Every structure is written in C-alpha cells, then in structure tokens.
C-alpha cells in the first residue's frame, strides 16, 4: 500500500475562493471611512471643482456614451447598453498599466481572434496572449481573464454577468471580488461605467490630484483614498467629477507634478491652482490661532479657524492659501488676508 504524502494539494485558481460570508465581511470593513474626522471634500468643494473642470474642458467625449447610458437609466428608458457587463470587465482588465489606445486595440484584437467568450475560454493561453499583446502584460492579463471565465462558468453555468444589474453595490463588489486578480479599482470601474452605479474609482491621476488639493490626508494611500472619497463625494456628482478629474490629470502636468516638453498650454492656467496645497508645510505650536484667516471652501469660521499644523501654502491672486488641520474641526482651506 502506497504511503500517503503528508503534504496537502495546493488548490487550483478556481478553487481559491473565500466564502460569501467572509467576502461580505471584508467588503463591510473596506467600506468604513479610514478618515472619519477628515471633513474634506465637502459637497461645496465637489460642486466647485466639477463646475470649474467642466467649464475648462467640457465633458470628455471618451466617456460620453457612458453618461448617456446613465441618463437613460435615470429616465427609465428601454435603451440597452451597447457593451455587456462581461465586455466591460475584460476591457477594464486590459486597461491596466497601459494607455487607453493600447487597451482598446487589445480588446478589439481579442474579439477579432476569439469572437465569443466561450471561444476565449476554450483557447490556449498562448493564443489569448498573442491577441492582447499590444496592451502589455499579456501573460498576466490572459491568466486573469481565463481564470475569471473558468470561475464564472463553474459558478453560474454560463459566461454572463448581466445578473449583476439586479444586485446592490455591496453585493456586486462581493461577487466580483471572488475572481482572482480583480481588485477594487477594476470593480469600481465596472460599477461606474458598465452598471451605472454611483462609485468613484481612484487611479493614479485622481489620487495625485486628491492629495494636491487636500481632499485626503498627506499620508493617504490609494485604497484609503478610494474609501474616503466614496464616503465624502455626493452620489450625483461622482460620475462627472471622476471623468473630469481623470481627464484633467492626464492633460495637466502641473497637477501630476511632471515636466514635459510637450505639455499642453492649458496646464499653465490650471483651474485647480486655486485649490492646491504646496508640498511641505509649516509647524505651529498647539493652541496657536493663525491670525486673520478667511475660509475659502473648507471647514471652520474666520473667528477661530484652526489650531495645529499648517499643511502648506500657495501664493496666488487671492492671498496665501493654506491648509490647516484642526484636531477638533478637521482640515480647512483658508487664506491670509
């Protein structure tokens, strides 16, 4: 009789799944605001930035079809989305760590070589990699897509994610998070663009701008920024504001702090300069009142706007703009008059 090997067999990617209860608990924990006392952005902040960027850029054409779908959903029209949820998920996977143009070429190439998702699932990994190679990271993305399709077929019996349209946001996050390689940003993009839900994905551009204009603490990371902004930004502003910040972050070298000889002329008149916070900051002793300060959209009042740390300042036409952190009131934007 052969002696049994004491080592446990490593589960296959399809088997590596958390229970729904554990995933729901994890989703609940993720939804807790990491900065409950950080009171920016306020609804007024969000409205002001949205309006300024909309006046500056107009609404980005690349997101126009998704905006129309949302309007149709709000008006209860019978117009169906042109892309399926599964199309959107795969497209989002292909968009990781590459340009929009390259990810769109990769998706078109994949659909041309393998027209149905059943074809993709049945294909060799090498065939999928060859089809999406122009989008970069082909082996990683091909593995993620194939694993996701395997898991979906095993769980639902067919390659279709349209059932997600009938679920709540938290339930959708729980469902999509079961797929290996599908992270919070991918889930948030599918929620916002393909399911017409109110969510606020945070990419590198939005993360950098959020820190630059004081919408999150200096020490914030992308995951905490995502949770905090989703708690603070009004639902009705999330889609437009996200699209505008993303577009502005790609166009404006001032906001993302990069030097580029080909930078656009518009970056010289960045509409977010009025909201910006300079790097560094100036320490002030506890119980010190910064004199003669007037709020410009943050929390507090001019009689006693802050005690604590001045996060930074930016000299501009309206005076020296500063970010002050008050231990009791939270952060405030103000300027010295």
Show the 3-state SS of 251-318: HCCCCCCCCCCCCCHHHHHCCCHHHCCCCCCEECCCCCCCCCEEECCCCCCCCCCCCEEEEEEEEECC
162-205 pLDDT per residue, tens: 999 999 999 999 999 999 999 999 999 999 999 999 999 999 99
pLDDT: which is higher, 170 or 301:
170
Region of poorest pLDDT, from 1-15, 87-101, 118-132, 149-163 = 1-15
Residue 58 contacts residue 243 (beta carbons within 8 Å)? no
Domain ranges of the chain: 62-194, 277-336
Q: Where residue 326 falls among pLDDT bands split at 50, 70, 90?
A: very low
Its CATH architecture, for the domain 62-194, is Orthogonal Bundle (1.10)
DSSP at 49: H
Q: Which residue has the tokens 């399926």?
A: 84
The catalytic residue positions are 185
Q: What is the pLDDT of residues 37-66, one digit of tens each?
A: 999 999 999 999 999 999 999 999 999 999
CA angle 22, 28, 30 (to 5 degrees): 100
Lookup result for tokens 């006693």: 304
């Amino acid at each position: 009789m052969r002696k049994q090997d004491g080592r446990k067999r490593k589960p296959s990617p399809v088997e590596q799944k958390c229970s729904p209860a554990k995933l729901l608990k994890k989703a609940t924990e993720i939804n807790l605001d990491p900065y409950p006392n950080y009171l920016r952005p306020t609804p007024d902040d969000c409205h002001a930035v949205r309006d300024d960027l909309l006046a500056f850029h107009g609404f980005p054409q690349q997101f126009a079809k998704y905006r129309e779908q949302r309007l149709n959903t709000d008006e209860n029209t019978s117009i169906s989305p042109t892309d399926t949820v599964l199309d959107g998920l795969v497209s989002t996977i292909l968009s990781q760590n590459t340009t929009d143009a390259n990810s769109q070429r990769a998706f078109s190439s994949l659909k041309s070589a393998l027209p149905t998702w059943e074809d993709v699932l049945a294909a060799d990994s090498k065939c999928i990699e060859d089809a999406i190679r122009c989008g970069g990271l082909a082996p990683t993305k091909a593995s993620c897509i194939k694993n996701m399709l395997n898991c979906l077929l095993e769980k639902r019996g067919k390659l279709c994610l349209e059932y997600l349209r009938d679920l709540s946001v938290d339930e959708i996050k729980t469902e999509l998070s079961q797929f290996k390689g599908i992270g919070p940003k991918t889930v948030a993009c599918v929620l916002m663009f393909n399911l017409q839900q109110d969510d606020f994905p945070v990419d590198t551009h939005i993360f950098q701008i959020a820190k630059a204009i004081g919408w999150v603490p200096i020490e914030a990371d992308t995951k905490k920024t995502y949770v905090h902004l989703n708690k603070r930004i009004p639902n009705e502003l999330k889609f437009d504001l996200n699209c505008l910040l993303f577009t502005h972050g790609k166009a404006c070298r001032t906001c993302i702090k990069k030097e580029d000889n080909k930078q656009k002329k518009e970056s010289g008149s960045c509409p977010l300069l009025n909201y910006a916070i300079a790097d560094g900051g100036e320490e002030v002793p506890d119980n010190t009142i910064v004199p003669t300060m007037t709020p410009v959209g943050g929390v507090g009042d001019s009689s006693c706007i802050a005690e604590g740390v001045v996060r930074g300042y930016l000299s501009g036409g309206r005076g020296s703009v500063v970010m002050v952190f008050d231990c009791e009131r939270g952060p405030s934007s103000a300027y010295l008059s």
